[in-house]
Structure 1
Amino acid sequence: MRFIGKEEIENIAIGAALLGTGGGGDPYIGKLMALQAVEDYGPIRLLSIDEVPDDALIVPSAMMGAPTVMVEKIPNGEEAVAAFKAMKEYLGKEIFATMPIEAGGVNSLLPLALAARLGLPVIDADGMGRAFPELQMVTFYLDGVSATPMVLSDEKGNNLLLNTINNMWAERIARTATIEMGGSVMLSIYPMDGKTVKRSAIHHILTLEEKIGRTIREAKERNEDPIEEVLKLTNGHRLFKGKVTDINRKTEEGFAKGTATIEGVEDYKEDECFLHFQNEHLLAETKDKVLCSTPDLITVLDSDTGMPITTEGLKYGARCVVIGMPANPKWRTPKGIEVAGPRYFGYDLDFTPLEDLVNKEWN
């Protein structure tokens, strides 16, 4: 066990935005919520996975909805507490700890803020190792864990408890409810015991996020290239460099969907990169080839600072570097690709691992 304070939160916010592949909610909002909670209630206990009892009740907490909505509809913190308390009352059992459901801006930091307020520990693990747009796109689902019972809470005080026949129905019903509740809600979801968390979760994700944030910050202090340092840390690859010349983005069916066009510079001059996203970046391609596709990670970084840029933060004229990172092996299984591969999102191509695409380009 160790404690998470303000410096750790600052670093985690950067790393979460990077692993969030453009989604997971506004990292700035999540950071402010976590910093305020630490200011009010003190440091947060972070548990390694082996410190969790097998029979302990673990309830992840998260935001659901379009990241673009959160820019104007900022949570006040009470929504997450209400969802958590409603889950506890329904299950009739003390909750041992919470954890992130994904690596993403607000969704890595919301559980920290909630844990500080409730005096609970946070587990150093999550269910994606990145961010994905739909509720069933978690490693827990790959192992047959139910998303429900699930509680949705909004800023008006509405609570909705769901019990569904499977996780696909949980996504459909919860997405419709989220739209009616204003486009974003807070969740308590995937309640499970410690043994299941150990088997199904992706371990040490908050530690990795903190390390990424610290790496970027320290590289800038040493006047080194932060992007190169991140690539070393994540086994990533530089895919494209340029400036954003067009952004087509709309909030539709509870998601922020769109395409960004990046005009190449330097080694990529005379070429264009097209980024397709649904909350998160799902496909990076040029006119001639695929650069990277889901479930591998695609992230946009500011070319000068190395700081991640979210899908709602992409703007015309932004100078950026697109990087790719390999997904956790759980996502490269046949079921993982079925659940979150390019064909699930309507792209007419099979998943090819990032390293194979890169090696093909080099050869």
Structure 2
Amino acid sequence: MSWTIDTADLHRLSRGAAVYGTGGGGDPYVGALLAAGAIAEHGPVTVVTQDELPDDAVVITVAMMGAPTVMVEKLPNLDEVVGSVRALEAVLGRAVTHVTCAEVGGVNSTIPVAAAAALGLPLLDADGMGRAFPELQMVLPTLYGITASPLAFADDKGNTGVLTTVDNTWTERIARVACVEMGCSVMIAGFAMTGVQARESLVQGSLRACVELGAAVDAARAEHVDPVTRVAEVLGGREVFAGKVVDVERATTTGFARGRARIDGAAGTLTLEFQNEHLLARAGDDVVVTTPDLIMVLEHDSGEAITTEGLRYGQRVRVVAAPADPRWHSAEALAMVGPGYFGYDVPARRYDGQVSDGAGVAA
């Protein structure tokens, strides 16, 4: 059944999306400000479920591409969002009927809300990941043979472009170069798909899941119970470490925020490796959990998610691990988003500490 997002819902949506962002995806608060402005001007956004999606719908993803660290100074605007969609429509030769999220984590959960409001289109309650990943091709539609191109991009200066590429990895490579030249952040629109393809390939109900997770954190605080424990319960995950951030190495290179953080606690030391998102958690020499499962850093008492660009010396934090969509544990998916892809010579380790055998639900 359809529902609406208005400015009152954006707080819960952005809070839940920050958790699902696994440290990356950008600060959803920035996207929520953009969405709030669009809703104030154009009215609430209608969110539709997969059951309400026509087979012949033209569904596209709208997202920000770039390093989350850049958004601290280079804020997105609606002209970029609308510009990328209009450029895509010109190449498709068809009008877009629905907007959806490429990823549910971080700012890319709220920018599509702004896009839907500004364009007067319904928003599909779904996304391409069920979390956030750093590269464009790292979405479940890739496993279903859905192409990212034609992919349109637009920047804050009014520049637009459209790529047509041989596969989604090449779309990522070429678009990333353009993104760096355009200030390390652009708005993109692509992955045009029918209603049938969207129902099959996307993670359904993920926006609702973000809102419910945000509401659960709010409720835990009001009830004076531990919000971090509540997050772990809602996500079906577990707390893996607690301590103080004692060191952060971070640099923005080739359009990504890359680095590591060290957390010291009663159980020893936990090291987190990230590329926009947290990819690997290591306790001493032992790997605790890796991508594609979710690794989230939460403020010790409030349960508020802390992004990789927000990590600072002295923060008291707790690290929670939770399961990814089971399709991410197929052999094909692990080749695309497992630790080996990012240069870590370790097997994929699930949130519960078990090694992934690559036998997840294949597309």
**Counterpart in 2 of 1:303?**
300
Report 1:146-295 matches (<5 A).
Answer: 146-265=147-266, 268=267, 271-295=268-292
Q: Of the candidates 336, 340, 344, which is equivalent to residue 343 of structure 1?
A: 340
* 1:129-168 deviation per Cα after TM superposition (whole angstroms, max 9, x unaligned): 0000001100000111111000010000000100001111
**Equivalence for 2:81:** 80
Deviations 1:100-138 (A, max 9, x none): 100122100000011111110100000000000001100
Q: Which residue of 2 aligns with 1:61?
A: 62
Q: Is the contact made by 2:270 and 2:282 (CA closer than 8 Å) also made in structure 1? A: yes
The SS at the match of 2:166 is coil
Task: State how far apart, in whole Å, the 1-side matches of 2:345 and 2:43 are.
Answer: 50
| Structure 1 position 288, deviation (Å) | 3.0
Q: 2:37 corresponds to which residue?
A: 36
Map 1:323-362 onto structure 2 (within 5 A): 323-357=320-354
Equivalent pair of 1:83/1:153 in contact (CA under 8 Å): yes
Q: Equivalent residues in 2 for 1:95-174 (5 A)?
A: 95-174=96-175
Pick which of 82-91 and 199-208 moved more. Answer: 82-91
Residues 167-215 of structure 1, C-alpha deviations (whole Å, 9 max, x = no match): 1111110011100011000000101111000010000000000000000
**1:2–1:45 contact (8 Å) kept in structure 2:** yes
Give the CA deviation at 1:26. 1.5
**Partner SS, residue 124 of structure 1:** strand
Distance 2:341 2:195 in 1: 30
- SS class of match (1:281): strand
Q: Distance in 2 between matches of 1:227 and 1:287?
A: 23
Shift of 1:228: 1.0
**Structure 2 residue 21 is the aligned partner of structure 1 residue 23:** no
| Alpha-carbon distance between aligned partners in 1 of 2:171 and 2:227, rounded to the nearest angstrom | 40
Amino acid of the structure 2 residue aligned with 1:32: L
CA distance in 1, matches of 2:169, 2:117: 32
* Count of matched residue positions in the alignment of Structure 1 and Structure 2: 354
Whole-angstrom CA distance in 2 between matches of 1:169 and 1:228: 41
What letter corresponds to residue 315 of structure 2 in structure 1? A
**Secondary structure of 1:88's match?**
helix
Give 1:35 shift.
Answer: 1.4
What is the CA deviation profile of residues 238-287 of structure 1, one whole-angstrom value per residue up to 9, with x for unaligned ones?
0100010000000011100000000114xx2xx00000000000001111
Partners of 2:210 and 2:108 lie apart in 1 by 12
CA shift, 1:229, in A, is 1.1
Cα distance in structure 2, aligned partners of 1:66 and 1:153: 15
For 2:32 and 2:315, locate their aligned partners in 1 and report how far apart those are by CA, in whole Å: 23
SS at match of 2:110: helix
SS of residue matched to 2:327: helix
- Could you tell me whether the CA contact under 8 Å between 2:256 and 2:275 is conserved in 1? yes
Instruction: Determine the structure 1 residue equivalent to 2:359.
Output: none
SS of the residue corresponding to residue 101 of structure 2 reads: coil
**2: distance between equivalents of 1:56 and 1:95?**
8
Per the alignment, residue 8 of structure 2 pairs with 7
Please report how far the alpha carbon of residue 356 of structure 1 lies from its aligned counterpart in structure 2 after TM superposition: 3.8
Matching residue's letter, 2:219: E
Distance 1:233 1:42 in 2: 31
Q: Deviations over 1:59-103 (max 9, x none)?
A: 110000000011111012210100001111211112111011001
In structure 2, the residue corresponding to 1:343 is in which secondary structure? helix
Please, which runs of 5 or more residues in structure 1 have no aligned partner?
A: 359-363
Larger deviation, residues 147-156 vs 21-30: 21-30
Contact 2:135–2:172 under 8 Å retained in 1: yes
Asked if the contact 2:87/2:161 (under 8 Å) is kept, the reply is no
- What runs of 5+ residues in structure 2 fail to find an aligned partner? 356-363
Cα shift at 1:352: 2.4
Counterpart of 1:212 in 2: which secondary structure? helix
Q: Secondary structure at the residue paired with 1:187?
A: strand
% of aligned pairs identical? 46
| 1:353 Cα offset (Å) | 2.0
8 Å Cα contact 1:291-1:357 kept in structure 2: no
Matches of 2:351 and 2:119, distance apart in 1 = 41
Asked if 1:316 corresponds to 2:313, the answer is: yes
| Aligned partner of residue 3 in structure 1, secondary structure | strand
Aligned partner of residue 218 in structure 2, secondary structure? helix
2:27, 2:161 → 1: CA distance?
24
1:7 shift after superposition = 2.3
Partner of 1:361: none
Contact 1:63 1:107 in 2 (8 A): yes
Looking at structure 1, the residues matched to 190 and 42 of structure 2 have their Cα atoms a distance apart, in angstroms, of: 24
Aligned partner of 2:46 in structure 1 is 45
**CA distance in 2 between partners of 1:165 and 1:288 (Å):** 40
Cα drift, residue 341 of structure 1 = 0.2
Q: 1:42-64 CA distances to partner (integer Å, 9 max, x unpaired)?
A: 11100001110011101110000
Taking the aligned partners of 1:276 and 1:56, their CA distance within structure 2 comes to 40
Q: Which amino acid aligns with 2:299?
A: D
